[in-house]
Structure 1
């Protein structure tokens, strides 16, 4: 082995001396020996020193631990080439020969060739441990020279390179996996761009989508995929600028293929930055959306056609409903007059009149249900969700159905409902729903049967699949003692025109009412259901969302009550009726003939009605909507704009009975809006309210 001398020099690759261990005197020699011993005995590095022939002269503790050999097994017996992987030695010889332009045989000379010539010599190698396992190492070789600059040996300082190689292998595998994954994607184009927007990589999806192979496109600017008009607008650079500023840009638009064809692309451009925040390039993801866009367009067109068809159907039914109502107005109006005529009709006549009225009101109900269903299908049904008192609506329904129940010999029981119990719903639709359920419970009951109405809160702690709380609801149930429904009938119950119940009832069944009821309840955010037992009866229930009570004026209800009919000791009041249909005019004439406190004027057109209103100044005007020439709404607006007639209450009377028709009429300025066929009692009540209003207006003007 080497002994400590007074002067041993190790040359670094640049030819400069370093690592000089120089002893000057006995004390210096001792210190140099101690320093050398500390270095050589370090366990962190494998230090191997050889003579000029490569025979190992020093094999330190670090080398023993790293390779598993004892120093005695190596010193003066082997060269570092014996513990090097032969394949690595051969590979290094080939590389060096090519690099230095000279033939270098594999062996020890390969390991020290550069160092012997004063060239930097740090390289990676694999050593073979004593147990036969391979150890990746990083080797730094230094030529040892004497005072005369002659090579007397070599120093190999080796570190374990396993961790680094493992990281490199993982990185290589990660990159290779990513490359394979990107390359395997064929339904998306995955393209890497440099900071200027030039193509760096081109996957199989890009080849398939755009028609270029990598050799044709790598290095080209990505703007070549944009249509000329987009390039003129600077769209490619704008996309890069947005991704640079925000980290990401998304867009859709037309893109060009190699053959000149275009496709509709969805593009995501993501900025790639290094840990220091410097822009390294962009990742671009492109998907062909042409077929999806075409399908979306076709679906939108089909949806539009369906909506237009539904609207056209609703308009047709609305117009047809108007015509049917006009005819029914005369039929039901005169039938009601005949029923209450003086002298009264004979029993046979009374029975015939009752049948006329029953058929007429049924036909009116059927028209209303068909129109409601058509409006629901077209999405044009007018409704508004707001807090409303269930007690008030239930009271109105009770007043409407109790006569029907009494006539059929049905006992009906209603609960006491707190007036401060409010639900979030549309008042008109709730009344329609409750009226339908109550009417059905009476129609399809047994003689002498009963109907029980119950109401109660349903506390709910349930949550939807999305974790949202289900609002607390109020349940209203209607129980009858009818024949009940079988499971097969229940399956058909909410289908249009199913006619469930026809077989056990004398009532005519259209099979529409419950369908409309279900749709209305669901539109208001509620639910509907039924439980039935054959031979015992059925329970129909609805649940509606509870709402907080609004602040109400205490005497609001009283303020809205109609005034009593005027006394007979005052001068007759004048009613002007603008109507072009003789039958409708004749009906109103006969109704007013029973009011000694009123006289009737009439006009066949809107223009004549305006002229008559200005000259006669009637107390109340009754206006049809569909008039020849000028519409009733236009005539009303002209009268409203005239100071001489602006104070006169104008009541609409029309066969246009859809909720949106009524809403438009009231918004336009009508005092009230009545629908045909006329219900005589409702008609008279409305006239009384209008006369009271006219009287108040006259008093204020005086």
Structure 2
């Protein structure tokens, strides 16, 4: 980036004297502090003031503006930091440094940067004076800025507002709490020694940092004994050279400055009791008695590990930043696109090798030339630049490049604007890619897509036709089959009774009829599932109730084959979140297969387990022949009977397919384990649900609306629901209320018939019903003058906000969700009974519903 700045500066000022170039390079050097400087200069939390080597302010960041009240324009190239500092403190600092360093230092800017100019780390306190004349204490860190040859080209003064700390120190000192806070703090080590350096106080912070107890060190060792010996020797040498006096390695080197009244903060490595090391920042203060004689020293240390790590990381970052220019240029040159930049007027300022290849011109020839000159349509190319400047970005803007020899290439032009750090527009960054081959491929793909769309349409049409045919044929076959089975059963029990030979024939007709009905139902299920129109009613399903029903249906079939059914005991409170009818269908399919493909006199074991806290597994294990692995892989393929087509057992090969799809639609899974010669175990896993809770006690008795008159006829509630458990729950909620009479219907058509016959006061209607849905039932009731006035409450396991909104929009008086909340159910029923009493139309809903 800095190279770009230098190149642009030199290019844009070709006639400037060497002095101007030197100034640009000096400013560039100031900028080369990398991303750390960016963070400092952009921070509003502390002031960053950079000067030239004479102290004149060159940079004045937002933090400095916020703290001091000046704008950058007020001070840059006008004053030095000494001009905004307390003059008396500057004079005092000059005197103190002159005495400390034994060299005359003039008051003014020199006093603020003298140590930094000699390469000495310098952090001090002084008072800054704001533009409005007010003052505040600040802690200032000074760093000399040097060029590549080590020559000082300026200074950086970073300041933080020290007002809060000063006030806190004053308050603590007045209360006598500062000393107690230091010695009781676990956040930093406080080590006090006598005049000879023997440790007298070793606070909890020192214990925590160093691993020693106070008893381990007090009156035994000096702080030098827990410091890196090589660093102590090095410090003694440095101080001897700096202060021109011989200083012995050891404790003296750690406290020499403090013993001479010089503020001393330094870094060294402490050694813990276990031998591990950590870097620390140590502040040393001489302790004096009333006669000003030194009676000991206080060394306050903080763990400097984190800062050291940051410094290491910063060095790595600086190295990466130095490499960034090289990487950026390499990236631009290695790009497959032709990369170029222009100024806002469309003059090329930089290009890569691909641009040279595309145009047949060298980089020197391209830079400084108008961008539009290299295209067959210069006006369109110029319009592209203007469009980028107005819209900030342009994508897939096609242009045709003409090279030096007249060759033309179609390119896709993508560009964006770019800015300097002050958000000043610098120009346009553009990439042009040769799209000649892509345009040819697009044409081929377009032709292929047309063919694919046509094939997809034909396939979808064929699939819909298949599903429609299966559904239609299943319904068409069901009608005559009902007649065949019905009349066969009438003949079986008719008078005169059939002969023995006729009974055998009738049994064959009835058996074949029921089997044919099973096949038709499976085909219909498969058609409905494949069409995506299968409706599920998910709610808590009692697994013990479903399994009892399955056992009653399947035991006669097992007894005919002499097969023993074993239902292992399980927790009867287990409920699954599923569609009761479809769970039963899936289990009947698996149990029927276990009987059909079992041995004579074989066994079937049904087991329930909690595979996870959220899922229940139902396993059905048979003692049949078992399946080899290659057949297991084909098990759930439609119409694949795994070689049993010519066997004694009838079947179509779609029962397991339907079972798998039903289980997965309910959020479950299905699997199988099989061993040849031993048998197979099929299992399904369903989502676990909580057992519905029935209300206890009598509080509900008084909550239901009572008849308006003592001798009034009972009120009637019609509940249309296909799930027995839900019917039982509502029955038990209202069974103690003789003024409420409940009717029930297990499907929508029967519900409509009961409503027209008995004209109930209120109707409770499930949404997912066999046959027609609750929405269709509501529409029919509303269109019939006999039932249009009856309030209808929806009850459904479809509980998403959109489901509720759709129900209310359809005209339900209230939309209740499962599981039933008894209080809400009673409240809704009361409101519906009150509405029925007034004779208002049931489609009117209370506000807020």
Provide TM-score, normalisation by structure 2: 0.39
Larger RCO: 1 or 2 (CA < 8 Å, sep 6+):
1
Provide TM-score, normalisation by structure 1: 0.46
